[in-house]
């Protein structure tokens, strides 16, 4: 009752409408429950499969929870060194790549955020244009693989995509919004631009740096395409590329025809298990850092 | 007159010199990033010249000799190009038609939730798929639509014939679109929600005084309030029509579904990187890039004429 009253007083209209509004709230809640279910179901299904027996999966008995519960699949996968090797690679690429990306984006965004730099009239369009027209897959591939000889080195997956123009623009608008007084005071005290950047701007920019750190690290963590193009040696693969091989291996047998569907299903619990293991770190950390992602987008949208 | 102009030019140069002398340290920040942009963004852009030149591998990435429009003529006669071109447009446009109103509606509905904890929860859950690697997304899609997956289980329990969705060409577009909406629904609302928080509350008060109910408020206050965002996103989407979700397609398509699934970028990949026809593939890619650029510029022009909002 109290709720209804407050709804009435909030909208300041008659009781008749608040009944309609109540119905709307119920419908809206149902829709939202539907969205939550729709979003989470594939994850639930994967986890259920990863803890189910092969027989149950093949028989189509798994839908929401594990059938014939077993942790054997995980034990088998984790007893082999593979996953740890690929995970280690992913961590190395993610940490190194993220640091390079953050540094590169920050030192580009900082001068671009200074309106008094008249040459930004040239540099800003120089940077922004690349968002609308890119070099394309083949010229980039040819440059990296044939001219720069980065093929089969980790640099091929870290350096070419290091700076995201979109992220630079987000950082730029954050820097531009910082109060200028501190910088002026420091410069009167004789601090040069490098000192101001390192000792004043960077500490003040923790929120945007946190967002950018997460955008970059998730991008590298999830990247399979760059490694797929450039890394020939399997020992250098990140876990995402290893996972691709597992998933596509199954497709390979499917391609032969429906008869082999059975053969590919034998690995279904293994596939699910590998997917769960690869997604787990992101899903576990995600709820706690989610606000930084949103925050990063918001900083970007203020400027539009 | 001429003398005056010269003097002005001269003054400009002196000014610029002074400016550089004063600000050289700030400009020095740009050295590494600008070199990076030249090497990894602009050289590949110039590298597109191999669409007009013969290039068959090797470190001289600008090719060996001019061949004019040979590769363009070749792909214009190529049936697999037209197939990919048609698929690119069909997939992008149908995806846009479904996704755009659904995302906007979802944002409006989220905005109506008064229980902030529940709202936060729905948002957090719906953003999640955006952060998952495309490899896992593709793997999930395959599991869900597989012969023993939940969809086929339901079909079988209703007495229907099981469908091998992933291998059948007519099913590719629905799989692509539904999974795209699934993955992008939540994240797609962020900019709308940000714009909604910026709407002046007094407008809602005024609407209430005029007797507008919540639905009318949404139509007459919220939607006009976020119109610039809607237009901006629409421009970006129209500009992106030539690009499809390359990663997802290349992970999900099969020779048996090329007919509906092969798009320009996957064709470029197969021709260029798998097949080694670098020049031919570059010509196709360049065509895609130029059409894309024309689309963004046109969409922006139109929106600047029709509404106030534009990207630049």
Residues within 8 A of A (CB atoms), B 245-304 only = 247, 251, 254-256, 265, 268-269, 272-273, 278, 281-282, 285-286, 288-289, 292-293, 296
Which range, of A250-254, B234-238, B291-295, averages the lowest pLDDT? A250-254
pLDDT at residue B300 in the model: 81
| Sign of the dihedral defined by the CA atoms of residues B12, A129, B186, A42, in that order | negative
Alpha carbon distance A180, A176 (integer Å): 9
Q: What is the pLDDT of residues B51-87, one digit of tens each?
A: 999 998 888 889 988 999 999 999 999 999 999 999 9
Centre a 10 Å sphere on the Cβ of residue B66 and count the other Cβ atoms it contains: 10
- Mean pLDDT, rounded, for A58-67: 85
The DSSP code for A70 is: -
**Better pLDDT: A268 or B256:** B256
Alpha carbon distance A296, B297 (integer Å): 27
**Better pLDDT: A98 or A81:** A98
Residue B234 has pLDDT above 90, yes or no: no
The Cα of A219 is separated from the nearest Cα of chain B by a number of Å equal to 8
pLDDT at residue B310 in the model: 64
A227 within 8 A of A241, measured Cβ to Cβ: yes
pLDDT at residue A12 in the model: 45
The Cα of B61 is separated from the nearest Cα of chain A by a number of Å equal to 6
Confidence class of residue B5 from pLDDT cuts 50, 70 and 90? low
- Mean pLDDT, rounded, for B32-46: 96
Confidence class of residue B142 from pLDDT cuts 50, 70 and 90? very high
B140 closest CB neighbour out of A28, A251, A275:
A275
Alpha carbon distance B131, A288 (integer Å): 13
Closest CA to B103 of B32, B188, B167: B188
| Sign of the dihedral defined by the CA atoms of residues B213, B218, A7, A12, in that order | negative
The DSSP code for B40 is: I
* Residues with Cβ within 8 Å of residue B115, at least 6 apart in sequence: none
Q: Write out chain B residues lying below 8 Å of A138, CB-based.
A: 47, 50, 268, 272-273, 278, 281-282, 285
- Mean pLDDT, rounded, for B11-35: 90
> Is any Cβ of chain A less than 8 angstroms from the Cβ of B118?
yes
Which range, of A281-295, B55-69, B162-176, B226-240, averages the lowest pLDDT? B226-240
- Report helix, strand and coil shares of chain B as percent, to nearest 5: 80, 0, 20
- In 3-state terms, what secondary structure has residue B54? strand
Residue A262 has pLDDT above 60, yes or no: no
pLDDT at residue A265 in the model: 42
The two structure tokens encoding residue B4: 């005056």
pLDDT at residue B286 in the model: 94
| Sign of the dihedral defined by the CA atoms of residues B71, B72, B77, B80, in that order | positive
**Better pLDDT: A107 or A55:** A107
- Mean pLDDT, rounded, for B86-114: 94
- List beta partners, residue B65: B54
Across the interface, do B251 and A244 touch by the CB < 8 Å criterion? Answer: yes
Length of chain A: 304
The strand ranges marked E within B12-150 are: 53-54, 65-66
**Better pLDDT: A288 or A249:** A288
pLDDT at residue B2 in the model: 52
Residue A252 has pLDDT above 50, yes or no: no
Residues within 8 A of A (CB atoms), B 66-85 only = none
Confidence class of residue B296 from pLDDT cuts 50, 70 and 90? confident
Residue A261 has pLDDT above 50, yes or no: no
pLDDT at residue A304 in the model: 42
Alpha carbon distance A59, B109 (integer Å): 40
Q: What is the pLDDT of residues A179-207, one digit of tens each?
A: 888 888 998 999 999 999 999 999 999 99
Which residue shows structure tokens 């139109």?
B302
Centre a 10 Å sphere on the Cβ of residue A264 and count the other Cβ atoms it contains: 21
The DSSP code for A155 is: H
Alpha carbon distance B146, B300 (integer Å): 42
Q: Write out chain A residues lying below 8 Å of B268, CB-based.
A: 136-138
pLDDT at residue B4 in the model: 57
- List beta partners, residue B66: B53
Confidence class of residue A258 from pLDDT cuts 50, 70 and 90? very low
| Sign of the dihedral defined by the CA atoms of residues A127, A131, A133, A137, in that order | positive
Which range, of A203-207, A246-250, B129-133, B251-255, averages the lowest pLDDT? A246-250
Residue B283 has pLDDT above 90, yes or no: yes
Across the interface, do A114 and B139 touch by the CB < 8 Å criterion? Answer: no
pLDDT at residue B11 in the model: 67
Which residue shows structure tokens 């040819």?
A142
Average confidence score pLDDT of chain B: 90
A3 within 8 A of B93, measured Cβ to Cβ: no
Q: Where are the alpha helices (DSSP H) in chain A?
A: 2-11, 15-50, 54-58, 72-79, 82-112, 120-132, 137-142, 155-158, 165-176, 181-188, 193-196, 202-204, 206-222, 225-230, 239-256, 261-265, 268-303
Share of chain B above pLDDT 70, in %: 95
The two structure tokens encoding residue B202: 């007094």
pLDDT at residue B273 in the model: 92
Across the interface, do A39 and B128 touch by the CB < 8 Å criterion? Answer: yes
Give the nearest chain B residue to A196 (CA atoms): B26
Alpha carbon distance A51, B7 (integer Å): 81
Give the nearest chain A residue to B135 (CA atoms): A244
pLDDT at residue B194 in the model: 87
Alpha carbon distance B234, B241 (integer Å): 11
- List beta partners, residue A97: none
What is the 3 state secondary structure string of A244-301? HHHHHHHHHHHHHCHHHHHHHHCCHHHHHHHHHHHHHHHHHHHHHHHHHHHHHHHHHH
A156 sits in the region (left: phi over 0; alpha: psi -120 to 50; else beta) called alpha
Residue B281 has pLDDT above 90, yes or no: yes
pLDDT at residue A291 in the model: 87
pLDDT at residue A250 in the model: 47
pLDDT at residue A1 in the model: 35
pLDDT at residue A249 in the model: 66
Residues within 8 A of A (CB atoms), B 191-250 only = 191, 194-195, 208-209, 211, 213-215, 228-229, 232, 239, 247
Confidence class of residue A5 from pLDDT cuts 50, 70 and 90? very low
Please tell me the pTM assigned to this model: 0.88
**Better pLDDT: A91 or A245:** A91
Q: What is the pLDDT of residues A110-168, one digit of tens each?
A: 999 999 999 999 999 999 999 888 888 999 999 999 999 999 999 999 999 999 999 99
The secondary element (H helix, E strand) that includes residue B10 is helix B2-28
Alpha carbon distance B170, B176 (integer Å): 11
> Mutate which of A44, A136, A273, A295 to test chain B, going by most B C-beta atoms within 10 A?
A136
The Cα of B84 is separated from the nearest Cα of chain A by a number of Å equal to 16
- Mean pLDDT, rounded, for A57-81: 86
Across the interface, do A28 and B37 touch by the CB < 8 Å criterion? Answer: no
Confidence class of residue A6 from pLDDT cuts 50, 70 and 90? very low
Centre a 10 Å sphere on the Cβ of residue B268 and count the other Cβ atoms it contains: 27
- In 3-state terms, what secondary structure has residue B87? helix
Confidence class of residue B192 from pLDDT cuts 50, 70 and 90? very high
Alpha carbon distance B104, A5 (integer Å): 30
- List beta partners, residue B53: B66
Confidence class of residue B8 from pLDDT cuts 50, 70 and 90? low
Across the interface, do A104 and B286 touch by the CB < 8 Å criterion? Answer: no
pLDDT at residue B312 in the model: 63
Q: Write out chain A residues lying below 8 Å of B129, CB-based.
A: 39
């Amino acid at each position: 009752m109290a709720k209804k009253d407050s709804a009435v007083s909030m909208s300041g209209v008659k009781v008749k409408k608040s009944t309609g509004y109540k119905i709307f709230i119920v419908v809206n809640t149902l829709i939202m429950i539907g969205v939550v279910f729709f979003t989470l179901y594939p994850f639930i299904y994967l986890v259920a499969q990863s803890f189910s027996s092969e027989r149950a999966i093949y028989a189509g008995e798994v839908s929401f929870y594990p059938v014939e519960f077993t942790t054997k699949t995980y034990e088998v996968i984790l007893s082999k060194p593979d996953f740890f090797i690929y995970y280690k690679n992913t961590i190395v690429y993610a940490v190194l790549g993220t640091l390079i990306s953050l540094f590169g984006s920050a030192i580009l965004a900082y001068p671009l955020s200074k309106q008094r730099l008249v040459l930004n009239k040239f540099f800003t369009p120089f940077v922004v244009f690349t968002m609308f027209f890119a070099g394309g897959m083949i010229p980039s591939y040819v440059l990296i693989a044939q001219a720069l000889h980065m093929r089969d080195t980790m640099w091929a997956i870290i350096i070419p995509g290091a700076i995201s123009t979109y992220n630079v623009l987000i950082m730029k608008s954050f820097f531009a919004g910082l109060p200028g007084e501190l910088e002026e005071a420091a410069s009167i005290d004789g601090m040069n631009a490098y000192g101001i950047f390192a000792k004043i701007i960077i500490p003040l920019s923790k929120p945007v740096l946190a967002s950018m750190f997460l955008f970059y690290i998730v991008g590298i963590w999830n990247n399979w395409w760059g490694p797929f193009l450039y890394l020939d040696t399997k020992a250098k693969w990140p876990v995402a590329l290893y996972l691709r091989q597992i998933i596509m291996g199954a497709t390979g047998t499917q391609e032969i025809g429906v008869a082999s569907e059975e053969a590919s299903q034998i690995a279904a619990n293994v596939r699910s298990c590998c997917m769960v293991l690869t997604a787990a770190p992101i899903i576990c950390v995600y709820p706690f850092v989610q606000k930084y992602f949103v925050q990063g987008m918001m900083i970007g949208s203020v400027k539009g | 007159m001429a003398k005056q102009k010269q003097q002005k030019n001269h003054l400009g140069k002196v000014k610029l010199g002074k400016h550089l002398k004063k600000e050289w340290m700030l400009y020095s920040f740009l050295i590494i990033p600008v070199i990076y942009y030249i090497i990894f963004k602009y050289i590949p852009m110039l590298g597109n010249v191999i669409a007009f030149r013969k290039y068959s591998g090797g470190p001289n990435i600008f090719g060996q000799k001019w061949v004019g429009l040979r590769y363009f003529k070749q792909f214009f006669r190529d049936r697999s190009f037209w197939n990919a071109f048609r698929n690119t447009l069909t997939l992008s446009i149908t995806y846009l038609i479904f996704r755009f109103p659904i995302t906007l509606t979802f944002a409006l509905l989220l905005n109506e939730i008064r229980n902030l904890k529940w709202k936060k929860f729905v948002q957090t859950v719906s953003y999640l798929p955006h952060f998952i690697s495309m490899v896992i997304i593709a793997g999930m899609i395959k599991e869900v639509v597989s012969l023993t997956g939940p969809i086929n289980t339901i079909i079988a329990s209703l007495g229907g014939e099981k469908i091998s969705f992933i291998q059948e060409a007519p099913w590719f577009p629905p799989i692509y679109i539904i999974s795209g909406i699934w993955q992008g629904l939540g994240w797609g609302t962020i900019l709308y929600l940000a714009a909604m928080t910026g709407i002046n509350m007094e407008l809602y008060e005024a609407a209430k005084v005029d007797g507008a109910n919540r639905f009318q408020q949404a139509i007459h206050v919220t939607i006009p309030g976020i119109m610039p965002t809607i237009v901006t996103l629409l421009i970006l989407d129209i500009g992106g029509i030539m690009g499809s979700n390359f990663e997802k397609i290349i992970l999900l398509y099969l020779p048996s579904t090329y007919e509906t699934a092969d798009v320009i970028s996957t064709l470029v990949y197969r021709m260029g990187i798998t097949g080694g026809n670098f020049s031919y593939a570059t010509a196709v890619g360049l065509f895609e890039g130029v059409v894309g650029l024309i689309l963004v510029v046109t969409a922006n022009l139109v929106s600047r004429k029709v509404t106030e909002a534009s990207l630049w």
